[in-house]
Structure 1
Amino acid sequence: MDSSTSRRDATRRKLFEAAVTLIAEQGFSSTTVDEIAERAGVAKGTVYYNFASKNVLFEELLRHGIELLAASLQEAADEVTGRGGRRIDALDAMIRAGLEFIAAYPALTQLYVAELWRTNRAWQSTLMVVRGRAITVVEGVLREAVAAGELSEEIDVPLTASALFGMVLVAALDWQSYQPDRSLDEVHAALSRLLQGRVTGRQE
C-alpha cells in the first residue's frame, strides 16, 4: 500500500468516526457536513472528495461497520470449529464477539439499530444488504449445527439467526445504557444460558 492510499484510508476512518458519533448523538438530519469535517479535523472539501454526499458517507459508514461486525463473528466461529469444537460453541463464541464489537463501537450500534426500523430512508436497501451480511454468518453456523446433529432439524434457521442477532444487539445496548456496571463476562454468561436453554432445548 503506497503512502497516498494509506493517508486516504486514514482520512476516511476519521470521517467515519466523526460521522457515526455525531449522527448517533443528534440524528442524521441534524448533522451537517461542516460538523463532520470539524469533528474529523479536516476541511469540508475533504468530505466531498472522499464521499459524493452525506448520504453516501452514511451508506458507506453502515456498510463498513457491519462488514467489520460480520468479519468478527465469522472469525470467532472459525476459531472454534477450526480446533474441532462444536457448532453450538461457535454460536456462543459469536455472541461474545458481538458483545465485544458493540462495546468497542457503541455509537455505530446505536445508529444501526435506530435506522433499522426507518423504512423511508434513501439507504434502506443498503441497510437490508448489510444486515443480511451479518445474519448470513449466523445462519451458516446454524445450518452446520443442524447438519451435525447438534440442533433439531425443526429449527427455522433464518428466523433463529435473526433472533440471535437481535438478542445480542438489544441486550448489549441495554447493558451499555442501563446496566454499565455489569461486566462483559456477566452479560455473555446470561446470553449463553439463553442460547443453551432456548436454541438447543437443554441447559448445560
Structure 2
Amino acid sequence: MSAAPIVRRPARTEITRQRIFDASMQLIGERGPAEVTVDEIAAAAGVSKGTVYYNFGSKAELIAQLLEYGVELLEARLAPRDDLPSLAAVEQMLRGTLEFFDAYPSFTQLLVSEMWRTPSAWRDTLTLLRERLFTLAGATLDRIPQEHAVREGVSPQGMVGLVLGAALVMGLDRQVFNPERSREESLHTLMTTIHGYLRD
C-alpha cells in the first residue's frame, strides 16, 4: 500500500499565515485574546477579514491554530541533538528556547497566560501542545542519566517540568522586568539547575 502524497501549502499561503500570526501575536500580547477583533488582526496583517476567516475559520480557531503554530516553531528549537554530549545538548535546547522567547515575546505572554488560566477556552489544545513539548525536551533530558550519575528520587518528568517551566518563566521575566539581563546570563542560571541534578 503506497503512502499518501504529501500536500504542500503554497509558499504565498504560508507567508500570509505568518503575517497573520505575527499581527495576532502582537495585538493579543498587548491586550489579550478577548480584546482583539478579527478586523484589527486583518488590518495589522495587511490582509482582508475574509482572508483571516479563509485561513482559520473563526477567531477561536485562529487562536488555537496560532498556539499550535507557535509551538511548532518552538519544537524546532527543542529538537534533540544526538550529535552532542547530553549536557551540551540540554544547553543548546535551552539557548534555542530563550532565543525563541526573544523572537516571539507576545506568543510567550499568550502561552503563559492561557497555560495557567482556569478555565481556558483552549485548555484541550494547550494540554496536547504541552505533551508534545514535554516529549521533545524529555528526549534530551533523559540522556543525562545515561552519561552522568544523577541524584536519586528525582522524577525524570519532574525534571522536564522544572526545566521547561523555569525557561518559560525566566524568558518572560526578562521581557517584563529585567530586559537588561543577557540571554547568556539566563542560560547560565538554567544550567546551574541542571548541574544541581548531577550527583557529586
TM-score, normalised via structure 2 length: 0.89
- Deviation for aligned residue 1:150: 4.4
**Given residue 140 of structure 2, which amino acid in structure 1 is its aligned partner?**
V
Q: Secondary structure at the match of 1:29?
A: helix
Which residue number corresponds to residue 132 of structure 2? 133
Judge conservation of contact 2:70–2:107 (CA < 8 Å) in 1: yes
Task: Report the number of matched residues.
Answer: 195
Cα deviation code 1:26-69 (max 9, x no counterpart): 11111100010011011111111111100111111011111111
Cα deviation code 1:174-198 (max 9, x no counterpart): 11211111221222122222221x2
- Deviation for aligned residue 1:149: 4.2
- Deviation for aligned residue 1:152: 4.3
Matched, 1:49 2:47: no
Q: 1:64 aligns with which of 50, 69, 74?
A: 69
Cα distance in 2 for partners of 1:64, 1:131 equals 13
Which residue number corresponds to residue 6 of structure 2? none
Counterparts in 2 of 1:1-204, with a 5 A limit? 5-74=10-79, 77-78=80-81, 81-82=82-83, 85-152=84-151, 154-196=153-195, 198-202=196-200
Q: Secondary structure at the match of 1:131?
A: helix
Judge conservation of contact 1:15–1:47 (CA < 8 Å) in 2: yes
Judge conservation of contact 1:146–1:153 (CA < 8 Å) in 2: no
- Deviation for aligned residue 1:70: 1.6
RMSD value over aligned CA atoms? 2.1
Cα distance in 2 for partners of 1:49, 1:68 equals 22
Cα distance in 2 for partners of 1:194, 1:161 equals 12
- Deviation for aligned residue 1:153: 5.7
**Given residue 104 of structure 2, which amino acid in structure 1 is its aligned partner?**
Y
Judge conservation of contact 1:73–1:94 (CA < 8 Å) in 2: yes
Judge conservation of contact 2:29–2:107 (CA < 8 Å) in 1: yes
Cα distance in 1 for partners of 2:199, 2:175 equals 29
Q: Relative to structure 1, is the Cα distance of residues 72 and 53 closer, same or farther in structure 2, using a 3 angstrom cutoff? A: same
Judge conservation of contact 1:102–1:109 (CA < 8 Å) in 2: yes
**Given residue 194 of structure 1, which amino acid in structure 2 is its aligned partner?**
T
Judge conservation of contact 1:67–1:134 (CA < 8 Å) in 2: no
- Deviation for aligned residue 1:142: 2.2
Residues 134-143 or 54-63, more deviating: 134-143
Unaligned residue ranges in structure 2 (runs of 5+): 1-8
- Deviation for aligned residue 1:201: 4.1
Cα deviation code 1:99-155 (max 9, x no counterpart): 111111111111100000123233211111111111111111222222344434633
Cα distance in 1 for partners of 2:94, 2:120 equals 29
Judge conservation of contact 2:86–2:141 (CA < 8 Å) in 1: yes
Runs of 4+ in 1 over 6 A off after TM superposition: none
